[in-house]
Structure 1
Amino acid sequence: MVEQARQFTTMFKDTWDVLHEWQDPEKKDGVVAISTKWRIKDNTTGLETEKNDWVIWEIKLIDGRRKLTAMTEVE
């Protein structure tokens, strides 16, 4: 399915903006919220579709390493 999508469409990332960033100074856990704008082009027809996404990443310090523990994405 992914191979077929790559064959017939092209994706362009137009913007990537950090909306909010927070880090707990004691635990070193944190949250990052981003906004992205991107386009998908149908390689056959040339038709482009614009998309907006908002993503929230939750990061926790586990065994001395920062790890992504949750991700929420809204299109």
Structure 2
Amino acid sequence: MKENSNTELIKSNALKQKKLKEGYMLDLYLEMFLAEIMLKAEREKLLNKIDLAIDQRNRKNFMELSDQYKELTKRFGT
């Protein structure tokens, strides 16, 4: 009987470990997904501001925004 309880305990622990790993992977995918959404939103916002600076012929603003865009692409490797 002790063998059965040990076997069941081992199976139970293995199942718990599997669930923990699956949960970790889901959290990791979710974090990556959210980071991608935030990056795209920030990128789109910057591009719109850059377009506006071009339309207004505001060189100073354009240069500052362009530098921000370059930094964004460096941080995220895009």
TM-score class normalised by the smaller sequence: under 0.3
Q: Which has the larger radius of gyration?
A: 2
Highest RCO, 1 vs 2 (Cα 8 Å, sep ≥ 6): 1
User: TM-score, length-normalised on structure 1?
Assistant: 0.17
**Structure with a larger share of its residues in strand:** 1
User: TM-score, length-normalised on structure 2?
Assistant: 0.17
